[in-house]
Every structure is written in C-alpha cells, then in structure tokens.
C-alpha cells in the first residue's frame, strides 16, 4: 500500500468518497464534524492521504501537525488495517515535518490492544467537566 497525498485544490474531487465514513468516525466521539476536517485540509492545516493498493483506493488517513507531534486525526478502511499498513509512511511524513512523535486518540476499546503492538504508548487521560 502507498499513501497518496491529496493536494488541497483536489480535495473536492475525493470528498464525497471519504465524507460518509468520516462522519461515522466523528460520531464515535470528539468535538468535531467532517466539515472541520474539510476546512483544515483545504487551508493546509491538515493533510489527507489516500491509501492506494494495486491501483485501487482502500481508505485514507488524515494527519495534522500539532506543536511537535504529527497527530492522526482519522484513519479509515473497510478492508485493511490502514494505520498499521501506513505507519512506516506516516513515520516518514512525521520525520520530514520535524515531528517528535506520532499521536492518535480513539474511543474504540480495541485500540488498547492494537496500539501497543504498533509501538504507541498511552500518554493522556482526560476528565471532562
């Protein structure tokens, strides 16, 4: 699999392909909606990468540089483990961006087992008031 960066000027051409699943991700938790991602990608505050395997779209990863961390805002594929398959390329993107680490957050319980296998460590617990 390769990750293909989507130029912000070409975002409109792929948006309808990712918006439904991005909406599902947003509904799982967080205080954002898909249009927030669209705006941040469009103005260059976030980056969209399409997962391409054997010439076909298999999913996407959205990243955002926050301070010294490359944050994986969203990762989706209905047929592949796109985060683990794309992690080497994401690490290269982080390196080129001078990021010190890669972060992601998830409300999915399964990531408590998957994240350590990928090399991630828990860092922050949050109490919402």
**pLDDT bucket at 127, cuts 50 / 70 / 90:** very low
Residue 129 confidence (pLDDT): 44
Q: Express the helix, strand and coil content of the chain in percent, nearest 5 each.
A: 40, 25, 35
Q: What is the pLDDT of residues 64-105, one digit of tens each?
A: 999 999 998 999 999 998 988 999 999 999 999 999 988 877
Question: Is residue 119 within 8 Å of 82, Cβ to Cβ?
Answer: no
Q: What is the pTM of this model?
A: 0.84
The answer to whether residue 6 is domain-embedded is yes
Domain count for the chain: 1
Tokens representing 51 are 């997962």
The answer to whether residue 123 is domain-embedded is no
Q: What is the pLDDT of residues 1-26, one digit of tens each?
A: 999 999 999 999 999 999 999 999 89
The answer to whether residue 24 is domain-embedded is yes
What CATH number should be reported for the domain holding residue 70? Answer: 3.40.630.30
The answer to whether residue 30 is domain-embedded is yes
- Beta-carbon count within 10 A of 54 CB: 6
Strand partners, 2: 52
């Amino acid at each position: 699999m390769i990750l293909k960066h989507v130029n912000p000027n070409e975002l409109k051409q792929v948006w309808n392909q990712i918006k439904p699943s991005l909406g599902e991700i947003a509904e799982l938790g967080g205080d954002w909606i898909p249009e927030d991602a669209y705006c941040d990608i469009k103005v260059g505050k976030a980056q969209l990468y399409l997962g391409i395997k054997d010439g076909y779209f298999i999913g996407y990863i959205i990243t955002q540089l926050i301070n010294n961390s490359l944050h994986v805002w969203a990762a989706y594929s209905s047929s592949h483990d796109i985060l683990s398959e794309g992690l080497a390329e994401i690490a290269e993107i982080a390196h080129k961006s001078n990021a010190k680490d890669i972060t992601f957050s998830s409300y999915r319980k399964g990531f408590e087992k998957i994240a350590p296998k990928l090399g991630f460590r828990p860092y922050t617990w949050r109490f919402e008031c």
